[in-house]
Structure 1
Amino acid sequence: MRVADPYCEKVLDPDNDKYISATTYPNLKAYPSNKTSGIVSVMQANQPVYNWKNTNFIRPAKNNLVIYELLVRDFTADHSYASVLTKLDYLKNLGINAIELMPVGEFEGNLSWGYNPSFYFAPDKYYGTKVSLKNFIDECHGKGIAVILDMVLNHSFGQSPMVQMYFNNGAPTAESPWFNTVAKHPYNVGFDFNHESDATKYFSKNVMKFWMQQYKVDGFRFDLSKGFTQRQSSDDAGFAAYDAGRVATWKDYHSFINSIDNNNFYTILEHFADTKEETELTNDGMMIWTNLNYNMNEATMGYLGKSDFSWGFYTNHGFSKSEGVVSYIESHDEERLNFKNITYGNVSGNYVIKNNLATSLKREELAAAFFFAIPGPKMIWQFGELGYDISIDQNGRTGEKPIKWEYYNESNRKALYDVYAKMGTLKKNNSIFATSNFTSNLISGIKYIKLNATDNNVIVVGNFDVVSQKANIDFGASGNWVDAFGNAINLSTNTYDLTLAPGEYHVYSKTALN
């Protein structure tokens, strides 16, 4: 058996490299045809050292993060780090301060989301060279933007030499120091790592250390972190139940990460486990993905029965700090809000969401105002800020999607971008958006969030119904209230008693926000 070096930083692929353009990867070495078969390692001694330009980057506080999740393949037509750099001002102006790259380590094939990894130290060549990746991270730091890598250590695929070395009858053998013979949980793809094995721990820590030190990344989002278990489960309930072994594994990995870089490095878990377990992990300083997609989309479509998205508040998880909850209304795994708005949106008389682009985008503005008002780090999925309305299932769930930069030139979509940009900027510039003193009512058509601080008060109010509704809310103070998206109001009493049209929203504050 011939295998490539699992620790190599570049591989040659006889089947897929021919589809990588010279523009994306100049001077790519030719595969050694007629000399071997399969994936081969590339070794280069005395490699030139990358000279980092931005060496004093200060990472945004966890609680202040506005993350942009990005798949290089579907973000620019050239699908390269260099082409993404040309959009950096677009992202900076959007108000984000972190980019989360979907997996960029060497994966099987070229056209992939990247969750089928095989070589963990080699950047996939389909997006560019290792130097171009380092330059991308360097330039992001120069713009004040952190870079988070989506790290896939739950499993590996058959191209991996570590899989191949201990493999028989379609599965890893019992002798494998890294892999389980049978996956321990029902959501596994590929071959399941055993994270209670010393060999797996050693390998995983080396992977983490490598990207932290060699590429100066600012955080990891760990894919399927709940899968780091050795307790067998056959359904979601058993998989999600509290697992002391899994907690110990993650605390060990987090401690190791902090030993390498404890300067506000982000450890984000796609966990979705028992609340007790997630509380224990966030108390240790880790951060947890929190999915608001379903309830927020019910609200944007105008269906109120399941429109309560208060799961976004860290207190409803029992967490002690808001920085533990990385909430999102869209991710790579979820249906696009505006696709469902346009396909299934509610209708009442002349107020029509379904098949009405202008109205459906206004509903997304309404959602964005509330989303950013919930204290804690936020994540945006690419083009959500422009109301991307092509289904996740077009061309297959993980297949290539149309890249719609022309959206930015459409006035209604640009208006949504501007709301995202303003709310993201307000969140970063005004400490009240990180307050621990808040109340909310997100059950009915009229929803509100109140943020309170010693120097200001902010109240976000909106009508998610498809008919006009009267708001009756105790603002806590009379007098003048500034609206970040409209005209100021003057209350003669503490009570805000106005009728809001469907989709209408306001972001009021006692003192003007920056």
Structure 2
Amino acid sequence: MKRICLMVLILSVLATACKKNEAGNTPVVPVTPGNPGLPAGAKDGVVYLNGGTSALVTLYAPGKKTVSLIGEFNNWSASAAPMKNTPDGNIWWVQIDNLNPSTEYAYQFLVDDNLKVADPYSEKILDPDNDSYIDAQTYPSLKAYPAGKTTGIVSVMQGNPPLYTWKNAGFNRPAKNNLVIYELLVRDFTAEHNYASTLQKLDYLVSLGVNAIELMPVNEFEGNLSWGYNPSFYFAPDKYYGTKAALQNFIDECHGRGIAVILDIVLNHSFGQSPMVQLYFDKAAGKPSANSPWFNADATHPYNVGYDFNHERAETKTFVKNVVKFWMQQYRIDGFRFDLSKGFTQKKSTDDASFSAYDASRIAIWKEYNNYIKSIDNNNFYVILEHFADASEEKVLADEGMLLWNNLNYNMNEATMGWLGNSDFSWAFFAKHGFSQPENLLNFIESHDEERTMFKNISYGNASGNYNVKDLSTALKREEMAAAFLFAVPGPKMIWQFEELGYEVSIDVNGRTGNKPIRWEYLQQADRKALYSAYAKFISLKKRNSVFNSSNTQYNLAGAVKYIKLTEGSNTVVVVGNFDVVSQTANIDFGSSGNWYEVGGQVLNLNSSTYFKVLAPGEYHIYSKTALSN
């Protein structure tokens, strides 16, 4: 009798579905008795079937009572596409049919009849508050938000979207030791703030000599005017910078010019627009609820912003792996710079000392992620960490092949300003960190997080007599001297956009993360163009002469006269400079007498191995026992 009743129920449901189809509505997979498992081929987000005319849609949402798929394919009906729950109660799914594969459909999930969220795996979203400020030049034919049909951010699906045709296959990534990265914020690089306008400046970057561009976060973040460290959707490129195809083309064109592309990505935290945050959120407490599969209710460390991911949870690890795999395969990127990587910990800390201390669990998390990335692409793919943890922990990660950010801003800026007490920047050398080789220490003078060195030179520079660091020309020449030392240190380097032109607008203008003036007119100013040319020269020297990767180094960077000495075989290079604001005498053992070739200067003949010379303030030289290629 039970079997007969069951068959009657099944036939009744099938008949109802057929009637809906005859009425012109989109049918769904009939709801069968029991708790069906997940269909084969399903994955997080959307899988297209039958040439894009059907879509299998899933949502990971344990513990929810009901979930419905609502959208333009069913007139936003809460009852048209109820989703089925897998036996473990974790995943909700439904198949929708009769789609036009060329049409973009907006959709959301209706959860427990009271929460509308977009798909965490969306590759495109529509924002009712911010999309209207995106111009057609940046994003042509942007789909209109379904006003009056729903509220909140919606996802977009399309069964057969246009596919980008890649042109530059087989790109050979630069060796880590020769890596010169240009950190770039699309918003503040050109007035048009898009990938196409940035491409128009590619000749400028090629002439500078950089061989990698690090894009500050480009996945969807809250608002339009952002640095991108407030992420909400991890699979969708932010439309304020352009289309998916425009980003793919940007990466493709960079590869065609010998430039790797590295994505800055934020997986320490997420912000309130994230569906994953919204699905499990305690509104009364204003934080993720205790049953969130991904987020801590309270951050584990003192530097968190937004909502803190729990990287010891299997759900978070799965999500992170899906994110990195997607960008590696869909966009053919060459590396990641992981923001606030030190935050990937469940070890509670309340101050910087405890936060930075050796953390075995954090190391295990990073080893797992790094090994996963290697399993996808082990061809010199760059994994760069903004870690700033104890040197013993960083050494373990460096030994695994990861690159560690090394901030020289404070000490090198003290040197350029002419204040010598704290001007020792010998922390630039890998051996001081206990690393086995220089290629894992990524040095920089400036990044998006630091005050511009030129701003401090002009505002706070030292002076003596007629020599004044606050003078623009003087300050720029001191920046040139600092760059000569930076690129003499073995290992990869990074420069922050317009550093090479002496950009002096404070980080706090228009608010720390606010828009900054774009000063391409700097190129027309002789002193600034000279700094650009000097950077290009130092970068070329580094890339063309292996002595700059030598681990045989001597240096003294503590006093007024600083020097770096590099030896490789029969060749030795010495960089020497006076960072004081008064003349000082250099007394340095070069190691041998005879002719020394000065880069950009005359041949120096030493009667002995000692270099003894009075250097004017700001005067520097690069000498080589064997003439260098430039």
TM-score (norm 1): 0.99
Aligned-pair distance for 1:322?
A: 0.4
Q: Secondary structure at the match of 1:123?
A: coil
Distance (whole Å) between structure 2 residues aligned to residue 57 and residue 425 of structure 1 = 20
2:314 to 180, 198, 208: 198
Spell out, residue by residue over 1:350-400, the C-alpha distance to the aligned partner (whole angstroms, 9 max, x if none). Answer: 11112x100000000100000000001000000000000010001100000
Q: Tell me the equivalent position of 1:140.
A: 254
1:453 is matched with 568
Rounded to whole Å, the distance in 1 between the matches of 2:159 and 2:627 is 58
How far 1:2 sits from its partner (Å)? 1.2
- Aligned partner of 2:224: which letter? N
- How far residue 228 of structure 1 moved from its aligned partner, in angstroms, is 0.2
Question: Which residue pairs with 2:105 in the alignment?
Answer: none
Q: Does residue 112 of the first structure (1) align with residue 226 of the second (2)?
A: yes
Letter in 1 for 2:148: N
List structure 1 segments (4+ residues) > 2 angstroms apart after TM superposition: none
Matched, 1:410 2:525: yes
Letter in 1 for 2:437: K
* Alpha-carbon distance between aligned partners in 2 of 1:48 and 1:125, rounded to the nearest angstrom: 17
Per the alignment, residue 190 of structure 2 pairs with 76
* Aligned-partner SS, 1:424: helix
Q: Which residue of 1 aligns with 2:603?
A: 488
SS at match of 2:262: strand
Cα deviations by residue, 1:88-127 (Å, 9 ceiling, x for unpaired): 0100111100000000000000000000000000000000
Match of 1:344 among 460, 464, 474: 460
Task: Give the structure 1 partner of residue 272 of structure 2.
Answer: 158
CA deviations on 1:331-357 (whole Å, 9 max, x unpaired) are: 000000000000000000111112x10
SS of residue matched to 2:255: helix
Task: Find the aligned partners of 1:324 and 1:70 in 2 and give their Cα distance.
Answer: 21
Q: Does 1:374 align with 2:466?
A: no
The question of 1:256 aligning with 2:391 is answered no
What's 1:504 paired with? Answer: 619
Query: Cα distance, 1:46 vs. partner?
Result: 1.2
Q: Which amino acid aligns with 1:226?
A: K
Map of 1:247 onto structure 2: 363
Q: Please give the secondary structure, in 1, of the residue aligned with 2:214.
A: strand
Letter in 2 for 1:293: N
1:270 alignment partner in structure 2: 386
1:245 alignment partner AA: S
Structure 1 residues 76-95: Cα deviation after superposition (integer angstroms, max 9, x where no partner): 00000000001101001111
Task: Give deviations 1:243-280, integer Å, cap 9, x for gaps.
Answer: 11100000000000000000000000000001110000
Aligned to 2:469: 353
Q: Which residue of 2 aligns with 1:40?
A: 154
Compute the RMSD of aligned alpha carbons.
0.6
SS at match of 1:459: strand
Structural mapping, 1:16-55, within 5 Å: 16-55=130-169
User: Is 1:438 aligned to residue 553 of structure 2?
Assistant: yes
Q: Could you tell me which residue of structure 1 aligns to residue 440 of structure 2?
A: 324
Q: 1:457 deviation in Å?
A: 1.1
Question: Residue 287 of structure 1: which of 387, 397, 403 is its match?
Answer: 403
Distance in 2 of aligned mates of 1:458 and 1:475: 9
Helix, strand or coil: the match of 1:41? strand
Aligned residue number for residue 466 of structure 1:
581
Q: Specify which structure has the bigger relative contact order, considering alpha-carbon pairs within 8 angstroms and separated by 6 or more residues.
A: 1
Match status 1:182 vs 2:298: yes
| 1:85 partner letter | L
- 1:66 deviates by 0.4
Larger deviation: 42-51 or 313-322? 42-51
The answer as to 2:238 corresponding to 1:124 is yes
Once residues 466 and 116 of structure 2 are traced to their aligned partners in structure 1, the CA distance between those partners, rounded to angstroms, is: 68
Q: CA deviation at 1:47?
A: 1.7
Residue-by-residue CA offset, 1:190-243 (whole Å, 9 max, x unaligned): 000000000000000000000000000000000000000001111111100111
Specify the SS of the correspondent of 1:46.
Answer: coil
**Which of 82, 85, 108 is equivalent to 2:199?**
85
Residues of 1 paired with 2:370 and 2:619: CA distance? 44
Letter of the structure 2 residue corresponding to residue 439 of structure 1: Q
Inter-partner Cα distance in structure 1 for 2:601 and 2:292 = 63
Cα distance per residue 1:132-182 (max 9 Å; x no partner): 000000000001000000010000000000000000121111111000000
Residue from 424, 433, 444 that aligns with 1:308 = 424
**C-alpha deviation, 1:432, in angstroms:** 0.6
Unaligned stretches of 5+ in structure 1? none
Counterpart residue identity of residue 55, structure 1: A
Q: Which whole-Å CA distance do the structure 1 matches of 2:497 and 2:150 have between them? A: 41
Match of 2:170 in 1: 56
Taking the aligned partners of 1:148 and 1:445, their CA distance within structure 2 comes to 37
Alignment partners' CA distance in 1, 2:218 and 2:468: 41
How many angstroms apart in 2 are the aligned matches of 1:92 and 1:510?
29
Counterpart of 2:532, as a letter, is Y
> Following the alignment from structure 1 to structure 2, what is the Cα–Cα distance between the partners of residues 385 and 485?
19
SS at match of 1:254: helix
**Separation in 2 of the partners of 1:485 and 1:244?**
49
Inter-partner Cα distance in structure 2 for 1:176 and 1:472: 63
Residue 180 (structure 2) pairs with residue 66 (structure 1): yes
Residue 48 of structure 1: how far off its partner (Å): 2.2
Question: C-alpha separation between the residues in 2 aligned to 1:475 and 1:215?
Answer: 48
TM-score normalised over the length of structure 2: 0.81
**Secondary structure at 2:420 match in 1:** coil
* Residue 303 (structure 1) shift: 0.6
2:420 matches 1:420: no
Aligned mates of 2:157, 2:571 — CA distance in 1: 59
Matched residue type, 2:276: M
Larger Rg: 2
Percent identity between the two aligned chains: 71
Cα drift, residue 511 of structure 1:
1.4
What SS is found at the alignment partner of 2:233? Answer: strand
In 2, Cα distance between equivalents of 1:345 and 1:361: 12
Equivalent residue for 1:11, pick from 125, 149, 168: 125
Shift of 1:485: 2.8
Specify the code of the residue in structure 2 equivalent to 1:32: P
